[in-house]
Amino acid sequence: MRVYLDNAATTKIAPEVLEAMLPFMREHYGNPSSIHAQGRRAKAAIERARKIVAQHLNASIGEIFFTSGGTESNNMAIKCAIRDLGVTRIISSPIEHHCILHTLEDLPQNIEVEMVKILEDGKVDYEDLENRLKSGTDKTLVSLMYANNEIGVLLDLKRVSDLCAEHSAYFHTDSVQTMGHFPMDVKSFPVHFMSGSAHKFHGPKGVGFIYINQDSQIKSFLQGGAQERNMRAGTENIYGIIGLAKAFEMAIEEMDQRRTHIQEIRSNLAKGLLENFENIRFNTDWEGESLYTVLNVSFPPSEHADLLLLNLDIAGISASGGSACSSGSEKGSHVIEALQGKTDRKNIRFSFSHYNTAEEIDFLLEALKKIVTPKNSEVTQ
């Protein structure tokens, strides 16, 4: 038996999504920029996909641009805000995804980068954010993720949006982990840039999108042809875009059903861990408002926990120690370190989808009993 509990890294492509993609691999392979019938058919399919994404975000179709995924979308938002909107200061946080942090590290020296304070539970210190926005005179971009991909803590989008509006700052949110899992309405929390990636909601890898508010006039991030209304050069990944739209549509339509199932699965695991093991902690308020697809578990130090990820893999269970950048490795988490400092506890991220079952959670708990000493067991000296 193989149990996949690393859905925050990537998800299984849905069979219905693959079926929607296949005709555009086999038959409708025209270049969307071509003016002949096959090209027009491909172009029309892309625009239908754009309309689906826009409708589910309550955005206009002119605000949706397809990209290669979350990393490109996030890079585009930050770098184009600097190049085209005159941004000279960026406020972010130390627990962002690496595609944000590494981008910030690579910016020109004249760009001021500030890190907002993060509270012990991983939430943004909103008072600190407000003070930073008040104190600055430079044109500012606030870049904060909606849900942390490692511990699942959520950002109050409306609160940050209101603060940015009050202080005339641009607002970018990395929404890769929340797309398809939470309702997203850009009219209810005005935002300038927002990113999504298909493979996080059972679509194909290598395709994503960026929402760009129509009042944020930026230019193309990639130079070349006039694709994506002159906003993203390069021949479109047509079957990827078709798959993204189908996966997104399914995720929205089935959101409540999926959420109920996933929350039950996560709850079963959390309760099973507490019942069977000593000194278990959770690196988020899993019973409160959080990203329900993630449960980050802190195991106490022991000789058996040192290679916990590897032993789980050998037992047939896929999990991770942090972001997708370090999935399958024993590398420590920059998120946990930012919150707790260096720790000798072992932190494992289990992340779920609606494909996971109660039987898989039972399998995981039984496997852990053979790796980590359970409660009430005799320990030989």
- Model pLDDT for residues 271-290, shown as the tens digit of each residue: 999 999 999 999 988 888 89
- For the stretch 2-39, pLDDT in tens is 999 999 999 999 999 999 999 999 999 999 999 999 99
**H-helix segments, 106-156:** 126-135
- What does the alpha-carbon distance between residue 322 and residue 331 come to, in Å, rounded to a whole number? 8
- What does the alpha-carbon distance between residue 100 and residue 231 come to, in Å, rounded to a whole number? 21
The residue annotated as part of the active site, out of 80, 99, 164, 325, is: 325
Q: What is the mean pLDDT of residues 45-74?
A: 97
β 140-143/170-174 pair status: parallel
How confident is residue 332, by pLDDT bands cut at 50, 70 and 90? confident
Structure tokens at 40: 């027009």
How confident is residue 377, by pLDDT bands cut at 50, 70 and 90? low
Give the pLDDT of residue 179: 98
How far is residue 20 from each of residues 156, 225, 248, 330, measured CA to CA in Å?
35, 27, 12, 37
Give the pLDDT of residue 324: 53
Give the pLDDT of residue 374: 80
Give the pLDDT of residue 8: 97
What is the layout of strands, in order, in the sheet containing 281-282? Answer: 281-282, 294-299, 346-351
Give the pLDDT of residue 305: 73
pLDDT of 70 strictly over 80: yes
Is 325 a residue of the active site? yes
- For the stretch 37-47, pLDDT in tens is 999 999 999 99
pLDDT of 270 strictly over 50: yes
How confident is residue 328, by pLDDT bands cut at 50, 70 and 90? very low
pLDDT of 322 strictly over 80: no
User: What are φ and ψ of residue 6, in 5° steps?
Assistant: -130, 45
DSSP annotation of 179 reads B
Q: Give the domains, in start order, of the chain with CATH numbers.
A: 3-11+255-371 (3.90.1150.10), 15-253 (3.40.640.10)
Give the pLDDT of residue 291: 97
Q: pTM of whole model > 0.85?
A: yes
Give the pLDDT of residue 321: 87
Q: Which of 138, 129, 82 is nearest to 107 (CA)?
A: 82
Q: Which residues on neighbouring strands pair with residue 343, listed in sequence order?
A: none
